[in-house]
Structure 1
Amino acid sequence: MDRSNSYSARIAPAAEPLDSDIQTAIDRVMRGEPPLILFTTLARDRRLFLKFFGNGLLDRGHLTLRQREIVIDRTTALCGAEYEWGVHVTAFAAAAELTTAQIGSLAHGNSDDECWNEDDRILIDLCDALHETATVDDNLWARLRTRFPEEAILELLMLAGFYHATSYLVNALTLPLEQGRPRFTDYAGSPAE
């Protein structure tokens, strides 16, 4: 499937060779795959690259991989950040046990879709509330507290915020989609399970 884009990035990636510590950091994340355009673009500025990589929440924290990816995929979809959404769907959706219907729902649906259980619905509702109002009302907060310890709630808030910021970055840079990554339209009309 052709993934060519009708736009190009507003800032070119860093020239190679990259500084050895930056290359090592990228290699550790990419595990033998070519580096993402986002990473090589940030590599233009050592400080910004290291700050971005240092603030990531892809380590083993208070959330399961599934919980983390639901928040990331929903946040990036709400922001229209097809670049980052596609990267995460490709890299983590299978391991997070997200079905085709669930991926489609994260991009185009809502928490009422039949493919979700109550735990998943809370995460989607959280992302929607943060995106729409930049806060969490008392009702949703109470729902979160019934299922997550306070440390996990903090991580959920930070995760949504980090990927909101990442969405701003990839959208404003108009990064071309990575080769072989899905588009929102690939999941349009996915039937709910």
Structure 2
Amino acid sequence: MSQTTPRIAPLQPPYAPDIAGQFDRIMRGAPPLVLFRVMAGNARAWEKFRAGNLLDRGPLSLREREIAIDRTCARTGCEYEWGVHVTTFAEAAKLTDEQVRATVRGAATEACWSEAEQALIAAVDALHERATLSETEFADLSAHHDEAKIFEIILLCGFYRTVSYLANGLALPLEGKAARFPR
């Protein structure tokens, strides 16, 4: 069933001059897509969407960010990027060995995750499997995360799916000191 209104309201004209200029550059004078109008309503998400870089400090905690990235990389079978992230950030993100393993081998409902983390992982899994969130999944995610965090989660999943495509598609060799998928 298709929704007629986005879950997060799109910008409506008249647009701020800088946003109007960005829309014009992207759309070449045609009306901006709803996707662009929704994204532009969150300045950070819009900037990152256009820039394609999510490695800076954003609205998610380091732990939330790394859970989303690790799970996305695991679901795409990207041991290269998963290993780099686990090696670099797992300790700082306070991910236990059990949790690191669960990013690859566990369900979203594993007891090692908090309720908020379970909702996050379920959202990552849904985006990977279906490229969307059900109403229930969106509601569960919204119960723990505000709009800025939801934008960031969706953007991270997409960005790291792209990174995974690159690493896997280019058959990058695993980094010597990077973690390996648990067997």
Normalising by the residue count of structure 1, what TM-score does the alignment of the two structures yield?
0.67
Structure 2: distance between partners of 1:83 and 1:111: 22
1:36 corresponds in structure 2 to none
Residue 97 of structure 1, CA deviation? 0.3
- 1:172 alignment partner AA: G
Give the match for residue 107 of structure 1: 104
| Preserved contact between residue 71 and residue 121 of structure 2 (Cα < 8 Å) | yes
Q: Which residue of 1 aligns with 2:60?
A: 63
1:127 aligns with 2:124: yes
Q: Following the alignment from structure 2 to structure 1, what is the Cα–Cα distance between the partners of residues 57 and 173?
A: 29
> 1:168-179, aligned counterparts within 5 Å?
168-179=165-176
The residue matched to 2:143 in structure 1 has which SS? helix
Tell me the equivalent position of 1:98.
95
2:148 to 134, 146, 151: 151
Q: TM-score, normalised by structure 2?
A: 0.71
Letter in 2 for 1:128: D
Match of 1:147, SS state, is: coil
- The CA RMSD measured in Å over matched residues stands at 1.3
- Post-superposition shift, 1:160? 0.5
Tell me, yes or no, if the aligned pair for 2:116 and 2:141 is still in contact at 8 Å. Answer: no
Q: In structure 2, list runs of 5 or more residues that go unmatched.
A: 1-50
Q: Percent identity?
A: 50
Residue equivalent to 1:79: 76
Q: CA deviation at 1:61?
A: 1.0
Deviation per CA, 1:139-163: give whole Å up to 9, x if none.
0111111111111111110011000
Displacement after TM superposition at 1:114 (Å): 1.5
Q: Which runs of 4+ in 1 moved over 2 A?
A: none
Higher relative contact order (CA 8 A, sep 6+): 1
